[in-house]
Structure 1
Amino acid sequence: MAPTFRRYGPGRFLKALAVAAALSIASMSTPSFAQGPASVADLAEGLADAVVNISTAQNVTGQRAMPLPQVPEGSPFQEFFEEFFNEQTPDADRPRRVQSLGSGFVIDGTEGIIVTNNHVIEGADEINVNFNDGTKLNAELIGTDEKTDLAVLKVDPHKQLTEVNFGRSDVLRVGDWVMAIGNPFGLGGTVTVGIVSARNRDINAGPYDNFIQTDASINRGNSGGPLFNMEGEVVGINTAIFSPSGGSIGIGFAIPADTATRVIGQLREFGETRRGWLGVRIQQVTDEIAEGLGMDRARGALVAGVTEDGPANLSGIEPGDVILSFNGRAVPEMRDLPRMVANTTIGTTVPVVILRRGEEVQLDVTLGKLEEETAVAQAEEEDTPEPSDRSETVVLGLTLATIGPELREEFSLSEEVEGVVVVAVEPGSPAEDKRIRPGDVLVEVAQEPVSSPADVEIEVQRLREQDRRSALLLLSNGAGELRFVAVRIQNN
Structure 2
Amino acid sequence: MIRLNLKSLFACVLSATVVATASTAMLPLSPAFAQVRALPDFTDLVEQVGPSVVNIRTLEKVNPRQGQPDQIDPDMLEFFRRFGLPIPNIPNIPNGPRQTPPPGHGQNPNPEEQPRGVGSGFILTSDGMIMTNAHVVDGADEVLVTLTDQREFKARIIGADKRSDVAVVKIEATGLPAVKVGDVSRLKVGEWVMAIGSPFGLENSVTAGIVSAKQRDTGDYLPFIQTDVAINPGNSGGPLINMRGEVVGINSQIYSRSGGSMGISFSIPIDEAVRVSEQLRATGRVTRGRIGVQIEQVSKEVAESIGLGKPYGALVRGVETGGPADKAGVEAGDIIIRFDGKKVEKSSDLPRMVGSTKPGVKSSLTVFRRGASKDLTVTIAEIEAEKTAAKTPEKTPKATESKMAQSMGLDLSDLTDAVKKELKIKGGVRVNAAIGLAARAGLREGDVILSVANVAVTHVAGFEKVVAELDKSKPVNILFRRGDWAQYTVIRLTP
Aligned to 1:173: 188
One of 107, 131, 148 as aligned partner of 1:115: 131
Residue 258 of structure 1 and its aligned partner are, at CA, apart by 1.9
Residue 225 of structure 1 and its aligned partner are, at CA, apart by 0.9
Given the superposition, is the C-alpha separation of residues 91 and 98 from structure 1 closer, same or farther in structure 2, using an over 3 Å criterion?
Answer: farther
Summarize the alignment of residues 205-354 of structure 1 with structure 2, pairs less than 5 Å apart. Answer: 206=220, 208-354=221-367
Distance 2:328 2:233 in 1: 47
Question: Is residue 28 of structure 2 the alignment partner of residue 28 of structure 1?
Answer: yes
User: What amino acid is the match of 1:442?
Assistant: I
Distance 1:369 1:296 in 2: 32
Give the SS at the match of 1:108.
Answer: coil
Residue 460 of structure 1 and its aligned partner are, at CA, apart by 4.0
Given the superposition, is the C-alpha separation of residues 359 and 471 from structure 1 closer, same or farther in structure 2, using an over 3 Å criterion?
Answer: closer
Kept in 1, the 8 Å contact 2:306–2:371? The answer is yes
Aligned to 1:54: 56
Question: Is residue 450 of structure 2 the alignment partner of residue 443 of structure 1?
Answer: yes
Distance 2:131 2:254 in 1: 19
Distance 1:420 1:90 in 2: 69
Give the SS at the match of 2:181.
Answer: coil
Given the superposition, is the C-alpha separation of residues 123 and 87 from structure 1 closer, same or farther in structure 2, using an over 3 Å criterion?
Answer: closer
Aligned to 1:491: 494
Moved more, 275-284 or 285-294: 275-284
User: What amino acid is the match of 1:153?
Assistant: V
Q: Which structure is larger by alpha-carbon Rg, 1 or 2?
A: 2
Given the superposition, is the C-alpha separation of residues 304 and 34 from structure 1 closer, same or farther in structure 2, using an over 3 Å criterion?
Answer: farther
Distance 1:299 1:486 in 2: 16
Given the superposition, is the C-alpha separation of residues 432 and 376 from structure 1 closer, same or farther in structure 2, using an over 3 Å criterion?
Answer: farther
Kept in 2, the 8 Å contact 1:306–1:318? The answer is yes
Give the SS at the match of 1:269.
Answer: helix
Give the SS at the match of 1:266.
Answer: helix
Residue 116 of structure 1 and its aligned partner are, at CA, apart by 0.9
Kept in 2, the 8 Å contact 1:396–1:431? The answer is no
One of 370, 377, 381 as aligned partner of 2:382: 370
Residue 227 of structure 1 and its aligned partner are, at CA, apart by 0.2
In structure 2, stretches of 5+ residues that fail to align are 1-19, 66-86, 91-98
What whole-Å deviation, never above 9, does each CA across 1:277-314 have from its counterpart, x for those lacking one? 33433222111221232122112222333344544344
Distance 2:103 2:38 in 1: 58
Residue 379 of structure 1 and its aligned partner are, at CA, apart by 5.3
TM-score, with structure 1 as normaliser: 0.76
Give the SS at the match of 2:135.
Answer: helix
Kept in 2, the 8 Å contact 1:276–1:367? The answer is no
Give the SS at the match of 1:245.
Answer: coil
Summarize the alignment of residues 62-211 of structure 1 with structure 2, pairs less than 5 Å apart. Answer: 87=102, 99-110=116-127, 112-157=128-173, 159-204=174-219, 206=220, 208-211=221-224
Kept in 2, the 8 Å contact 1:463–1:471? The answer is no
Give the SS at the match of 1:109.
Answer: coil
Moved more, 193-202 or 418-427: 418-427
Kept in 2, the 8 Å contact 1:182–1:225? The answer is yes
Residue 449 of structure 1 and its aligned partner are, at CA, apart by 3.9
What whole-Å deviation, never above 9, does each CA across 1:48-89 have from its counterpart, x for those lacking one? 2211121223357999969xxxxxxxxxxxxxxxxx986599
Residue 354 of structure 1 and its aligned partner are, at CA, apart by 2.9
Residue 488 of structure 1 and its aligned partner are, at CA, apart by 2.9
Distance 1:389 1:323 in 2: 36
Kept in 2, the 8 Å contact 1:227–1:235? The answer is yes
User: What amino acid is the match of 1:446?
Assistant: A
Given the superposition, is the C-alpha separation of residues 398 and 216 from structure 1 closer, same or farther in structure 2, using an over 3 Å criterion?
Answer: farther
Residue 163 of structure 1 and its aligned partner are, at CA, apart by 1.2
Distance 1:236 1:267 in 2: 18
Q: Give the 4+ runs in structure 1 shifted more than 6 A.
A: 22-25, 60-64, 88-96, 387-393
- Cα RMSD, aligned residues only: 4.0
User: What amino acid is the match of 2:381?
Assistant: K
Distance 2:307 2:423 in 1: 32
Residue 161 of structure 1 and its aligned partner are, at CA, apart by 1.6
Distance 2:56 2:142 in 1: 10
State how many pairs are aligned.
436
Given the superposition, is the C-alpha separation of residues 233 and 39 from structure 1 closer, same or farther in structure 2, using an over 3 Å criterion?
Answer: same
Distance 2:360 2:154 in 1: 38
Summarize the alignment of residues 398-477 of structure 1 with structure 2, pairs less than 5 Å apart. Answer: 400-402=412-414, 416=424, 419-426=428-435, 431=439, 434=442, 436-450=443-457, 455-465=462-472, 467-477=473-483
Residue 344 of structure 1 and its aligned partner are, at CA, apart by 3.2
Give the SS at the match of 1:337.
Answer: helix
Moved more, 241-250 or 129-138: 129-138
Kept in 2, the 8 Å contact 1:115–1:224? The answer is yes
In structure 1, stretches of 5+ residues that fail to align are 1-19, 67-83
Residue 438 of structure 1 and its aligned partner are, at CA, apart by 4.0
TM-score, with structure 2 as normaliser: 0.76
